[in-house]
Amino acid sequence: AIAESHTTRTRPRAHRTPRDRPSSATEPAIETHLARCMRAADRVRDGVRRVLPASCSVHDFPMLVSRAVLFSPRERASSTRGATRCVSGFSHGVRAWQVGCQAGTTRARVSNVPNPTRGFTSLSRWVNPNAAAFQHAPVGTATKVVSFRKSQSIAGEPGRLFPHKRHQPLRGNRPSRQYATKIRNYFGKDDVAIGKAVAYCEGGVPKLAVVTSAPFRRLLQVTDGDGTADKVELKHVLNVFECVFPSVSVDSRTGVNCAFDLSTNAGKRSFEARFGGQLKKATELARHWVDEDEKGNGAALRQAWEKALSKQSDALPSPQYETTENSDGSLVRIPSGGNPPVAAEALAAGFPFFAEKTTGVDETEQERFAASYAAHVLLSSKNGVTFFSPHSKGRFSARSGKDVEIMSARSDEQDKENEQRREAWRVVRDAIDLPSSRKPAKETFVESCNLESRDGATADLQTESQTAAKLHITRSIQSMEAYALGSGRYTQGQLACAKQALQKLGMRSSEKSARDCLVSIGRWDGYEDLSWRRWEIPVGFEPRVDLYAEGLASGTVTAPPDLDKDTRKDLTRLTAYAIDGRDTQEIDDAIGAEATADGKVRVWIHVADASRWSPVAEDAGLYDAGVYSNILDASARQRGASAYAPDGTVPMFPFAIAGRDGPMSLGPTGVDKCALSITAVVNTDNGEVTEYWIGPSVVRVTHAVTEQEALSMLRSEEESGHENEGPLSLLKRVANALRKTRMENGAVLIDLPESVCVVRRNTPTIDSDELVLSDEDSEDGSDDGSEDASGDSSDDSSSDSSSFSNRGERAANAVRDRERQFLDVKLFVAEKPTDIPQIVSEMMILAGNLVGKFGEANGLALPYRGQNAASTRNQPETEKGLAVAGVPTEIAKRGQMRGAFVTTKPAKHAGLGLDTYVQVTSPIRRYLDLVAHAQIKQFLRRQNGACEKTLPFDEPSLKALLDDVNEVVSDLRSATRDATNFWQTYWFAMAGFGKTHRAVISKWARKEQRVAVGFLTETGIERTVKLAPVETATKRRARIGDFVTLAVKEADPFDNALVFEAVSLEQR
């Protein structure tokens, strides 16, 4: 308590109460000991405050040491190098502390911290700063130390005598403080000073500079021999040399070095005379020594190494020891087994081309400085590290003969590997120079990244065909891919690797250069849509997934057992229409209808039974020699849904099993397929559903048609008359009744033109590959002579010649120019929906409503979809009491809609006008539809007595699954949106900046700044535009519903930049 903080003066003995005195019932020896210690504490209370430094903390001496030294006169204080016995008295404690400092111990830690009882514990030993913390005694272990609150405490309150127990330290103690005095293995602030020369490396090149200012925050400002300023971290300084040539001028008035200003000619001459010339001479000498040694194949270093070993053997020194740290933090001294490290200048005399001149004192000092730096550079060179082992602070030690052999062998291996890498980079540079029609395949430089083969076995990365050079190129290409995706999508290691690769190829270090490089070597297409990569959406499937899907489709892999085989209804007699687009691959629904005797209509909705081929995880088993049947389910859960981009589809299941002819799909026509069928009897007068049924079935699609073909069939049925209504006519009557009922229940219909973007990549013909290169391309192919030679040099990464820096960019532009000839991008507004899309939509909504009612009636946990009622805050803007009709009104209605949500309990869907709704009609394209199928089928099995297993998901597990899948689907939608924006921007860029586009002002984005949202009537897209310039030019105020003519101001698909400017304004 005395040493822990500032204290007050002790009360005189006469003012002490009997309670303060120790009881006579205690042991006499202890009482005498306590009284003597308390008197000693009173005497040294003020003395401690005078001895303690102002900056001393609770972790430093003597605050903590005093607890052991002052009041434990017979305790031993031990250290790693010696021990001393502490006796009573403060002076002996200070002496013990000094002994510990001489032994390498600068402070101590104890086993506990001050506690409210103000008790003291003994310090069992001194703790080295590099050693482990003091091992604490178990909590609750009583000690023989008693409380000394008999002496006045910090607040001046009298204490009581009671036994003390050791306790755990505070959790706030920082273990790192025990390393505060750890010895540095690099040069510190005290080792460098203004006027000294420092050696360091920059880009693998040794450099020598003079210190021009004191270190600040471990940064050292230096100037090299050419007068170029630089900053070096202290830990990167390899060696320090004394610059005594000529003596640095000192200002007699201030006693400091005279400063020089390099911005003036006088300052430059002063620096050249004092430092610059000698720094250049030392650098030239070092380069000369390295060249001479390389010419002799390391003969100079070998001779110096032999001399160093002979001197070591002649001296027969005592064994050298090294101090190592154990896992528990203790320090152990072991024989080093090698020669002691010495300074580089001490080894310089062993070089055969070193000769010390004695023509003058100044000249000798200058030569010694140059020789010291040259020796440092030579010892740090490639041949130098073979014979000498580098140590901290510019010291080196001669290696043993066995170590030299090992290092030589490693050096030879490294030379071979470097040669292989240079050859591999030469191949990459040759790929850049190839014509745009002759680029390598996309997998040429990343063959080693395919970790799995087609048979599912893991490929070995260290095979003979995949050398270290190929792996190096693979990692570099993959790092450039991550770098090209943009910030936040690569690690610091990938960033460094990508920049190094770009420098080796002579390209600028930027994300655009990385993208151009990947295009120029054929890794990416010229117009590569990076949306899927940025959102980490897997485009392809793993080889084992493709293998399993192909096996199911061909029958070579045993399919999962059909658990509903005995209960499936045979509905192959029914007429079923599968209405999809011409390019649609996933046929997952079909519809049909038939009239009943009472004038009602029975409709049929057949949905592909995807869970029969891809059971969810709870239904999966092990089949066919280790191939899991749930491998498809795991892949589908990872994707969440299928994505439809302008340039293609990213499916949830492989097309081998889910395509038009796959076993999971309902196509082709005339083939029996497993399905989950939903039937209902609908009263077409009021849209009421009188009965419905849900269950597994076997169906056969009779008509696989497009919308136009189905519309033609509908028109033919309508012309035949009401007496002979066909299935499509009945479906239309039901659809109209269901829509009318939903609208009466508050459903919201938004009638906006739909924008459609379609991208087709035409296959180049043989003649188109023989395109004549432009002059620019031919120049690219003729520059690889000298530039390739420079690229193979060791310092090619630092070179940035103008003739080579744009080669990758020019090659990438040539690829894009050729690719545009085969890209067919269309952007247009879809036609008004006909009766067929409305029929299909109403049937799908009916199926979801019936499944929702089924789940609600039976208490099933299903992915129910809900939507709250529309908001009334964003009403359509009115003018003179009349709402603006058309696009602005529909956009305003869309803005009032609330977002949909998915829950495990039934919820109202206000947008559809339904009390409950579950999406079940697309299990091939939506994973939650697949989960709903699995839940319903398992419930039906239990109801029929065919299975007693529980449902695949209960409510908590289903909720967790919904959260995971919804997050994945959100990313999928974002990637799809970005992909659409990419190709839309490409279309406007190809259309040209001079083309104008007509748009209607649909709403205000920022009305105060006159920024509105324009709906382009030609393409159906929406973009913001500033109207202030055109309003100023036309002297008219724009309003909602006015038409404005827009021109493209900026269109860059790679940066997702599409900016329009208003050209003219036309009021409605």
- Report residue 178's pLDDT band, with 50, 70 and 90 as the boundaries: very low
Q: Taking the CB of residue 676, how many other CB atoms lie within 10 A of it? A: 30
pLDDT for residue 992 = 87
Consecutive H or E run containing 1025: strand 1022-1026
Give CA–CA dist 964/957, Å, rounded.
11
What integer is the mean pLDDT of 31-44?
A: 65
Q: How far is CA 21 from CA 24, 159, 544, in A?
A: 9, 10, 85
Name the percent of the chain lying above pLDDT 90.
Answer: 46
Distance CA 883, CA 1003 (A): 13
Whole-structure pTM over 0.75, yes or no? no
Could you read off the pLDDT of 918-937 as tens digits, one per residue?
999 999 999 999 999 999 99
Q: State residue 1040 phi and psi, 5-degree precision.
A: -65, 130
* Lookup: tokens for 180: 């505060």
| Mean per-residue pLDDT over the chain, rounded | 76
Residue 525: burial class (beta carbons within 10 Å; 0-12, 13-18, 19+): middle
Give the pLDDT confidence of 580-615 residue by residue, as tens digits: 988 888 999 999 999 999 999 999 999 999 999 998
The partner residues of 229 in beta bridges, in order of sequence, read 223
What integer pLDDT is reported at residue 708 of this predicted model? 92
Q: DSSP per residue over 436-471, as a string?
A: GGGPPPTTSTTGGG--B-TTSPBPPTTSTTS-HHHH
**Higher per-residue confidence, 620 vs 441:** 441
* Rounded mean pLDDT, 772-786: 38
Range picked from 47-56, 335-344, 379-388, 621-630 for highest mean pLDDT: 379-388
Maximum alpha-carbon separation in the chain: 127
Please give the residue that has the higher pLDDT: either 323 or 339.
339
User: Residue 62, preceding bond cis, omega within 30 degrees?
Assistant: yes
Q: Could you tell me which residue, 49 or 837, shows the higher pLDDT? A: 837
Kindly report, residue by residue over 190-236, the tens digit of the pLDDT.
Answer: 888 888 899 999 878 899 998 888 888 888 888 888 888 889 998 88
Buried b (16+ CB within 10 A) or exposed e, 825-856: bebebeeeeebbeebbebbbbbbbbbbbbbbb
Best CA proximity match to 348, nearest among 325, 373, 366: 373
pLDDT value at 56 more than 70: no
CA distance 154 to 681: 90
Token code pair at residue 362: 């100044």
Across 105-109, 162-166, 279-283, 855-859, which has the greatest mean pLDDT?
855-859
Residue 243 contacts residue 199 (beta carbons within 8 Å): no
Coil, helix or strand at residue 495: helix
Q: What is the pLDDT of residues 24-33, one digit of tens each?
A: 444 555 566 6
Note if the bond before 668 is cis, omega within 30 degrees: yes
- What pLDDT is recorded for position 317? 46
Is 758 within 8 Å of 825 (Cβ atoms)?
yes
What confidence score (pLDDT) does residue 298 get? Answer: 84
818 pLDDT band, cuts 50/70/90, is: very high
pLDDT digits 0-9 by tens, 265-313: 777 777 777 788 888 999 999 999 899 888 888 888 888 888 888 776 5
Give the three-class secondary structure for 867.
Answer: strand
Residues 6+ apart with CB under 8 A from 371: 285, 345, 348, 354, 356
SS3 204: coil
824 band by pLDDT with thresholds 50, 70 and 90: very high
Confidence grade of residue 873 (pLDDT, cut at 50, 70, 90):
low
Q: What is the mean pLDDT of residues 694-703?
A: 96
Give me the mean pLDDT over the 472-493 stretch: 93
What H or E segment, with its residue span, contains residue 903?
Answer: strand 900-903
Residue 943 has pLDDT above 70, yes or no: yes
